[in-house]
Amino acid sequence: MIDFTRAQLSHLAVHFVGNKGLGEELTSGNKLIELKDDFVKETLVRYFVSPFKTDIYYRFKGKVDLSLDSVSNICEDIFTNQNVFVEKAQLAAKHLYNQSMHPKITGGEFYVCYFKDVVVDGELTDAVGFFKTENKETFLKVYQHVDEFDIDCESGINIHKLDKGCLVFNTDKKNGYKMSIVDANNRNAECALYWELDFLNAALKPNAYYHTKNFMDTSRGFCEEILTEQNNVDKLNQQMMLNKSASYFKERDNFNVKEFEKDVLVQPEIIEAFRDYRQDFNKRLDLTAIDEFEVSPTAVKQNNKYMRSVVKLDKNFHVYIHARHDYVERGYDDEKNLKFYKLYYINEE
């Protein structure tokens, strides 16, 4: 949990970072922005920090050459000495500019901030913030002159929609710091990771969210790749296993792999196949696997949308099976030469 109740925005620098690959410019601010209007300052802080509400944390990956202008090195220098803030903020803007090579990356304002007295998971610390505006919206302005009105349009930033952001907290330095990331414009697969990987060089930090997400991904992969009709497992049984896996995480605060095997997988041959798949899955993705961990409600909520029990029948029907798989029968009609599902129920809503 991140709490900004006591936080103070003490340093702010603004730059414009264009798309280097398209020949757009980098304009670096050479001094701190002074916000004398309290309303503007409070609005700006709310725009920056409001999206950071989850327990999803990242860290900087691996060791970085001290000669490089990496975000990790920049943060370490700022935490050590805030007098170098402007210089380091300029380096951050230059680093982001150098990563902005893909033609679909949108240029925009780039903000570097320093926050004092942020509380993260109960710890009081400072944070360096990096934020980027990529989308502008059109706003109407209405002017009243006694009994006459004028209407004009202006382009501006929607303070309820942060495009990209990152908070790096001055804690757990030896393990790559603790950071939180927002990226609302990562739907384009070709440039989705440029903020998280190319600019920040970040990876998920092992915690409840990390372990819950990894195991739910493993369970889904096992159902979709191993429990298939090619391996003599029909679609209904595949979806039943997927549903049981999702329900297991919904109903528990703590995970234990032995309990999961006993309650969800049940059959010895399925347990053995899952163990083999899990070992291969973790190796392929270089994941850290542990057998007991606290379940993250955030990870469960986010991953449940990928673990819905849906049986797709040709292009005509989608059957959603949430529970009671014993109320579903699957068969074959010899006269029509078609497969069928029979559903039993008590009440119709």
Averaged pLDDT, 15-23? 95
**What pLDDT is recorded for position 178?**
94
Q: How confident is the model over 12-26, as a mean pLDDT? A: 95
**Most confident residue range from 110-119, 258-267, 329-338:** 110-119
pLDDT at residue 306 tops 70 = no
* Confidence (pLDDT) at 24: 95
CB 54 within 8 A of CB 145: no
Strands (E), the chain: 2-3, 8-17, 26-27, 58-60, 108-120, 123-132, 137-145, 148-156, 164-169, 178-183, 202-204, 254-256, 292-294, 310-313, 317-320, 328-333, 338-343
In whole angstroms, give the CA distance from residue 112 to residue 90: 9
- How many residues does the structure list for the chain? 349
> How large is the average pLDDT for residues 74-90?
95
Decide which of 2 and 110 is more confident.
110
Per-residue confidence at 115, pLDDT binned at 50, 70, 90?
very high
**Residue 286 confidence (pLDDT):** 82
Among the residue ranges 104-113, 194-203, 230-239, the one predicted with the least confidence is 230-239
Q: How confident is the model at residue 15 (pLDDT cuts 50, 70, 90)?
A: very high
Lowest mean pLDDT among 41-45, 133-137, 266-270, 345-349: 345-349
For residues 289 and 306, the model is more confident at 289
Say what the pTM is: 0.76
Eight-class DSSP state of 20: G
Domain ranges in the chain?
2-205, 209-343
Contact 37, 2 (CB under 8 A): no
